[in-house]
Amino acid sequence: MTRKRITQIFPWLLPLRRKQQLLFFYTKMKLDKNCYAAKNLDNLLPHQLFETSCPLYNKETGFDMVYQENKVFNLKLAAATLDNLVIRPQETFSFWKLVRYADRYTAYKEGLIVINGKLTTTLGGGMCQMSNLLFWMFIHTPLTILERHGHAVKDFPEPPSDAPLGVDATVLEGWLDLKVRNDTDSTFQISIAFDQEHIIGRIFTDTDNGLSYNVINGEVEYYSNGNTVFEEVDVKQEVIKNNSGKSISSRLLYRNCCKIGYLLPVGTPVIEKG
């Protein structure tokens, strides 16, 4: 049996614990000697490296659609701090360093979030869709991933996306961040936009080095341990030479593992493991 945290036994301590954790979280960033990206340009850099989009609304959550509307509201607040941001050589991108005060003048609305392994609602919920999008963009660049956390549980089927399985990045202020560092001589820029149904992400650079990036899965495996089903999959990055279309290198980024919290399609092979 999993041992309960003290804030689960005494929930009234949670606000104090959160304040303490946020203090440590941001103080550590002040002292870690990283130069954090903070500049938003008025104009876009000349070379587009990658573009992606994903649906804003997911009808498969089992919750009222008002929380999807609230999520979109929250995403647009966060996007105002991220759009047109540049990451210069030797600068580090931190999701929370930038989004920390996105609600300074306009409050976040209640959206969906996983707390203590359960899907629930809270102010500012739904922010993981933004971090997922950014991570998917970042792995189509030579930027160095410093911190990324996969979701421990997949509570409902993923909405349509151009991303393969296992490409996500959950965030939780004070605990889980998304960080990348620019170890190249080029500058990169984030662009975030919305239409009525989609969030659109693009990443630009000031230098065209003739390379692009392809992210693919290895073999997907589903296995059960007791009554719990897990998904494991390799996420790989290929570097493509644009003038020939040939892959010049390939590497394993990570192996993703998460618990499946919904019924898999009939016929999906599931291996039994002890």
Using CA atoms, how far residue 37 sits from 87, 227, 258, in Å, is 5, 45, 31
pLDDT in the model for residue 103: 86
User: pLDDT class for 160, splitting at 50, 70, 90?
Assistant: confident
Q: Is pLDDT above 60 for 116?
A: no
DSSP letters for 141-194: SSPEEEE----SEE-SPPPS-SS-TT-----BTTTB--EEE--SSS-EEEEEEE
pLDDT of 34 strictly over 70: yes
| pLDDT tens digit sequence for 180-203 | 999 999 999 999 999 999 999 999
> By mean pLDDT, which of 122-136, 171-185, 197-211 is the weakest?
122-136
Rounded CA separation 164/256 (Å): 11
The secondary element (H helix, E strand) that includes residue 95 is: helix 95-99
Tell me the per-residue pLDDT of 246-265, one tens digit each, with 9 for 90 and over: 999 999 999 999 999 888 99
- Please tell me the predicted confidence (pLDDT) of residue 109: 87
Across the chain, what does the average pLDDT equal?
Answer: 90
Give Cα separations from 123 to 25, 73, 76 (angstroms): 20, 11, 14
Query: Cα–Cα distances in Å, from 164 out to 83, 113, 132, 233, 250?
Result: 24, 22, 12, 10, 16
pLDDT at position 125 is 73
Share of the chain above pLDDT 90, in %: 68
